[in-house]
Amino acid sequence: MDRTTDEFGLTLLQLLNHHSIGIEEVEGVAVCCVVPSVLYAIEKAARRYLKCEVLVVGRGIKTGMRVRTDNPREVGADRIVNAVAAFEEHGGPLVVVDFGTATTFDCVSEAGDYVGGAIAPGYQISADALFTRTAKLPRVPLQRPDRAIGTNTVASMQSGLFWGYVGLVNELARRCKAEFDVKPQCVATGGLARLIGGACDEIDAHDEHLTLRGLRILWDRNSD
């Protein structure tokens, strides 16, 4: 996403206008991004166009969650945001599956500690790889096929992508669950949570606004 500060700023203004929200109503902005150049542009745009305080989720903010990994600084800010929101909403233990650019599995203990997880290639990345790294396979729309056995190239690719990815998610979620002393709930979020997660037996609930709620929770915890 190669956009300038002004492009982000105008996008923010358009979004507010679309929802009939005036700039004067915005009290602050919480930002979570793991791409440094994009993070800088969004933060600068929020200050310039909305003229308000900006909370960047990262090292030094209060999350209320202990990170029990080998190197807590390596854990992406988006993963902590999801974990905080999921624990606040659903309690623990938890496995949070986020269907984003990468598909991440984030595990939270019964006590509310972030204990680690797994990272897999995203569904779209897998689909793009088939198109860009092969000579004759086309780009196919992302959808759930009716059958596993495809009778043409497009249907075969859709089957392999969709049901293969369902298998990946189910197996990783199952293995993560098995490593808890108490069986955790598995919550899915992200753009493809309904499409893919809806076919996964190991996913117990869908929460499409999990990340947004997490940002709000962290804003409240750091605005005292």
User: Per-residue pLDDT tens for 22-45?
Assistant: 999 998 899 988 888 888 899 999
- Give catalytic status of residue 98 as yes or no: no
pLDDT band (50, 70, 90) for residue 164? very high
pLDDT band (50, 70, 90) for residue 1? low
Confidence check: pLDDT of 100 > 70: yes
Please tell me the pTM assigned to this model. 0.88
What does the alpha-carbon distance between residue 146 and residue 162 come to, in Å, rounded to a whole number?
11
What does the alpha-carbon distance between residue 173 and residue 191 come to, in Å, rounded to a whole number?
18
- Among residues 158, 75, 174, 152, the alpha carbon closest in space to that of 123 is found at 158
SS (H, E, C) 94-150: EEEEEECCEEEEEEECCCCCEEEEEEEECHHHHHHHHHHCCCCCCCCCCCCCCCCCC
What does the alpha-carbon distance between residue 224 and residue 221 come to, in Å, rounded to a whole number?
7
pLDDT at 142: 87
For tokens 């309904």, name the residue: 194
List the catalytic residue out of 78, 98, 106, 207: 78
